[in-house]
């Protein structure tokens, strides 16, 4: 008997993704599970009879493959940065952009903060549900000065919907749009406050139009939990006098151009001089 916390896959989707059961409810006489992707920012639902429970060995193999992909991305990013730093003048020091990350998923937030730290970035994380983010973003920004803000969590194109432009067709896109609008009322300059917003299958066009610099998802595909981290890393370590290369920044992500996109944005790395011996 399936229960909350079990790791499962959907037979109707050829068991392509693994989910954790977050909730089980009765809808129209049928038991329905609310599912959360274990490495993708997706919330879905499915009848219990469509779900197959995964063994610990299967879950470990699934996670191991994902971990290897992330490790390869991190290694590439770090090695590339080391090369740039080794060719820079030693008398200068660097201050990368500060990051404020609001996430509707506490587990993903903890993983992202750990990854920011591994990449040498100063990041503060606050777990706030997608629906609460628009109400709290202004106060959070006032209390936590930052250069870059990430607004994410879970999203998804609702079953039975057909209009990809309507915010009513998505689980959380409306909240991301409202949060971006509030953040832009606080700081209209897109280079003074860089915003990433969205999750799996989010309404990309609406989020960008609201004022985000980067968002998901141009082709309404799924995005990885760490995609916002890889976007932000490039912004934080690109010098303030340069524009971030849009093609390069998307290539650094797990998902690529199907899941992520953005507009011309100035980097947030500042150099200082002289370097202190202390």
Q: Which two tokens stand for residue 46?
A: 């499915």
Same-domain check for residues 182 and 268? yes
Same-domain check for residues 151 and 252? yes
Same-domain check for residues 12 and 128? no
CATH number, domain of 156, equals: 3.40.50.2300
Same-domain check for residues 132 and 229? yes
Flag whether 74 is in a domain: no
Helix locations, the chain, DSSP H = 56-86, 106-118, 133-143, 173-186, 204-210, 227-236, 246-251
Q: Which two tokens stand for residue 244?
A: 């971030």
Flag whether 70 is in a domain: no
> Which residue do the tokens 């998802």 mark?
217
Flag whether 107 is in a domain: yes
> Which residue do the tokens 């490039």 mark?
234
**What does the alpha-carbon distance between residue 217 and residue 220 come to, in Å, rounded to a whole number?**
5
Same-domain check for residues 133 and 266? yes
Indicate yes or no: pTM above 0.85. Answer: yes
Q: Which of 74, 67, 20 is nearest to 43 (CA)?
A: 20
Flag whether 36 is in a domain: yes
Flag whether 64 is in a domain: no
Same-domain check for residues 95 and 49? no
Q: How many domains does the chain have?
A: 2
> Which residue do the tokens 């000065």 mark?
145
pLDDT of residue 88: 56
DSSP-derived secondary structure for 93-108:
EEEPPPEEEEES-HHH
pLDDT of residue 83: 53
Q: Which two tokens stand for residue 87?
A: 């060719």
| H helices, E strands: number in the chain | 7, 13
**What does the alpha-carbon distance between residue 42 and residue 62 come to, in Å, rounded to a whole number?**
17
Per-residue pLDDT of the chain (278 residues; tens, 9 = 90+): 899 999 999 999 999 899 999 999 998 889 999 998 888 888 889 999 999 999 999 999 988 888 887 878 777 777 776 655 555 556 888 999 999 999 999 999 999 999 999 898 999 999 999 999 999 999 999 999 999 999 999 999 998 999 999 999 999 999 999 999 999 999 999 999 999 999 999 999 999 999 999 999 999 999 999 999 999 999 999 999 999 999 989 988 999 999 999 999 999 999 999 888 88
Same-domain check for residues 150 and 256? yes
Q: Which two tokens stand for residue 227?
A: 């995609």
pLDDT of residue 71: 77
List b or e across 240-263, with b for residues whose CB sees 16 or more CB atoms inside 10 angstroms.
eeeebebeebbebbbbbeebbbbe
Same-domain check for residues 202 and 106? yes
Same-domain check for residues 165 and 266? yes
Flag whether 68 is in a domain: no
**What does the alpha-carbon distance between residue 154 and residue 41 come to, in Å, rounded to a whole number?**
5
Same-domain check for residues 36 and 145? no
**What does the alpha-carbon distance between residue 217 and residue 214 come to, in Å, rounded to a whole number?**
10
Terminal Cα-to-Cα distance of the chain (whole angstroms): 61
pLDDT of residue 266: 97
DSSP assigned state of 69: H
Q: Is 262 helix (H, G, I), strand (E, B) or coil?
A: strand
Same-domain check for residues 29 and 143? no
Same-domain check for residues 131 and 264? yes
Flag whether 113 is in a domain: yes
Flag whether 219 is in a domain: yes
Q: Which residue range forms the structural domain that includes residue 42? A: 7-55
pLDDT of residue 24: 95
Whole-number Cα distances in Å, 258 to 80, 165, 183, 201, 224: 24, 16, 26, 10, 12
């Amino acid at each position: 008997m399936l229960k909350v916390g079990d790791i499962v896959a959907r037979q109707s989707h050829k068991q392509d993704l693994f989910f954790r059961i977050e909730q089980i409810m009765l809808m129209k006489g049928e038991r329905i599970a609310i599912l959360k992707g274990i490495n993708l920012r997706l919330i879905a639902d499915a009848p219990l009879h469509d779900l197959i429970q995964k063994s610990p060995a299967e879950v470990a193999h699934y996670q191991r493959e994902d971990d290897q992909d992330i490790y390869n991305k991190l290694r590439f990013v770090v090695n590339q940065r080391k090369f740039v730093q080794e060719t820079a003048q030693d008398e200068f020091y660097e201050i990368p952009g500060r990051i404020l990350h609001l996430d509707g998923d506490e587990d993903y937030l903890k993983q992202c903060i750990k990854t920011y730290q591994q990449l040498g970035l100063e990041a503060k994380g606050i777990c706030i549900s997608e629906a609460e983010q628009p109400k709290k973003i202004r106060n959070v920004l006032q209390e936590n000065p930052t250069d870059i803000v990430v607004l994410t969590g879970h999203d998804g194109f609702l079953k039975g919907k057909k209009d990809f432009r309507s915010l009513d067709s998505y689980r959380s896109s409306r909240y991301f749009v409202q949060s971006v609008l509030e953040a832009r009322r606080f700081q209209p300059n897109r280079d003074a406050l860089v915003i990433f917003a969205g999750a799996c299958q989010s309404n990309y066009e609406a989020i960008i139009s609201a004022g985000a610099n980067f968002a998901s998802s141009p082709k309404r595909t799924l995005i990885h939990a760490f995609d916002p981290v890889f976007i932000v890393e490039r912004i934080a370590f690109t010098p303030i006098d340069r524009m971030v290369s849009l093609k390069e920044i998307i290539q650094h992500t797990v998902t690529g151009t199907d899941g992520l996109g953005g507009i011309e944005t100035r980097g947030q790395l500042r150099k200082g001089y002289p370097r202190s011996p202390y």
